[in-house]
Amino acid sequence: MNVQRWIARREPNWKRLDELLQQAEKKGIKSLAAKEIKDLASLYRSVSADLARARTNKVGSMLTQDLQKLTSRGYNQIYQGSQRQEWQQVKEFYLWGFPRVVRESWKYIAIATGIFFLMALIAWWYAWRDPVFVAITVPEHIIQIVEEDGELWMGSIVGIEPLASSSITINNLSVSFGAIAGGITAGLYTIFIMGLNGLSIGAIATLVGKNNLAYPFWAFVFPHGSLELPAIFLAGGAGLLIGKAMIFPGKYRRLDALKLNSIKAAQLLFGIIPMLIIAGTIEGFFSPSPVIPNIIKYLVGTGLFCLLVLYCSRDREIGSRNIGD
């Protein structure tokens, strides 16, 4: 191979790649036009091939090092820049995208929430009048601890916090996944899950109320429940979105409606997962702690719920106006 002739022929490409990389490094890859980005990728592949050829033919250590630096810079801009862009998209989703999807899906979330509280109210009404109903809906060991020992059952978490936290998180995630996946049954299984959980919480609330344990019980529930219950309601709303697309596709073809609503359901799921992880951590470490006064638990739970409402109310336009002010 005639080295000098090869260098003369390839050097314009190296210089052009260097120019594009300098601009990308100073102003960001977004400063490049679409054609320049395409050229950057093409030149990077070309120069990578040149580097391999230079090593094979031993054209000189100085040139090889220069080509190595050039390809390394190209790699950083193309691949690591792509990774930064992906992380930026994740950040944008959690800052603005998730709250927007929650607002757009509020009707379905409200229906899921309504089903839950309706069944909780029914359970409360029956449980006050019929002890058999409590025995059917509440696990036997919980009834025994509350009625015979006169205390709550959450004390068993103390001492095994990490294990309890992970177990609680996995259980809540499985309930949420089930509620979302239940949409493929035209929403019937989603409705079942929301109703079943409502019955359970209503019956347990009545049980502890009858035994004068309501105050410490709700002190336990408030901190993690302020995130856990809304997450389950969001999951129920996501499942109903899918069910609605199957039964009432509206102006879209059924398959198109299912695709659109499934995307929203998936976005709700992505937002739910961090909520349940945080809630599981709180339920494992904070909620059952006998050291923390109940009033603090009520305040923390209320504060977290208020922050969640504010977060879901976030709007990019409102945020932009505030920055401008």
3 state SS of 294: helix
**Can you read off the two tokens belonging to residue 198?**
């409502």
Q: How many CA atoms lie within 13 A of 263 on its CB side?
A: 7
- The tens digit of pLDDT for each residue in 63-107 reads 888 888 888 888 887 776 555 566 777 888 899 999 999 999 999
What confidence score (pLDDT) does residue 36 get? Answer: 85
Q: 190 or 6, which is more confident?
A: 190
What confidence score (pLDDT) does residue 325 get? Answer: 39
Percent of the residues in the chain that have a pLDDT greater than 90, as a whole number: 52
Q: Specify the range with the lowest mean pLDDT, choosing from 74-88, 108-122, 249-263, 299-313.
A: 74-88
Mean pLDDT (the chain, rounded): 88
What confidence score (pLDDT) does residue 204 get? Answer: 95
pTM of the complete model: 0.73
Instruction: Name the most confidently modeled range: 33-37, 41-45, 240-244.
Output: 240-244
What confidence score (pLDDT) does residue 158 get? Answer: 64
What confidence score (pLDDT) does residue 81 get? Answer: 59
Which of 133, 293, 266, 273 lies closest to 203, judged by CA? 133
What is the pLDDT confidence band of residue 233, given thresholds at 50, 70 and 90?
A: very high
**Can you read off the two tokens belonging to residue 251?**
């102006």
* pLDDT over 50 at 318, yes or no: no
* pLDDT over 70 at 321, yes or no: no
- The tens digit of pLDDT for each residue in 283-299 reads 988 998 989 999 999 99
* pLDDT over 70 at 222, yes or no: yes
Residue 14 to residue 53: CA distance in whole angstroms: 14
Which of 161, 198, 138 lies closest to 290, judged by CA? 161
Residue 293 phi/psi, 5-degree rounding, is -60, 145
Average pLDDT over residues 9-38: 85
Q: Specify the range with the lowest mean pLDDT, choosing from 4-8, 186-190, 240-244, 283-287.
A: 4-8
What confidence score (pLDDT) does residue 85 get? Answer: 61
- The tens digit of pLDDT for each residue in 173-214 reads 999 999 999 999 999 999 999 999 999 999 999 999 999 999
CB of 197 closer than 8 Å to CB of 232: yes
3 state SS of 185: helix
Cα→Cα distances 261→134, 252, 267, 270, Å: 38, 11, 10, 14
- The tens digit of pLDDT for each residue in 125-173 reads 999 888 899 999 998 989 999 998 888 887 666 666 677 788 888 989 9
What is the pLDDT confidence band of residue 305, given thresholds at 50, 70 and 90?
A: very high
The residue with tokens 């969640």 is 308
Residue 180 to residue 242: CA distance in whole angstroms: 8
Q: How far is CA 294 from the centre of its chain?
A: 29
CB of 280 closer than 8 Å to CB of 203: no
Which of 153, 128, 312, 122 lies closest to 234, judged by CA? 312
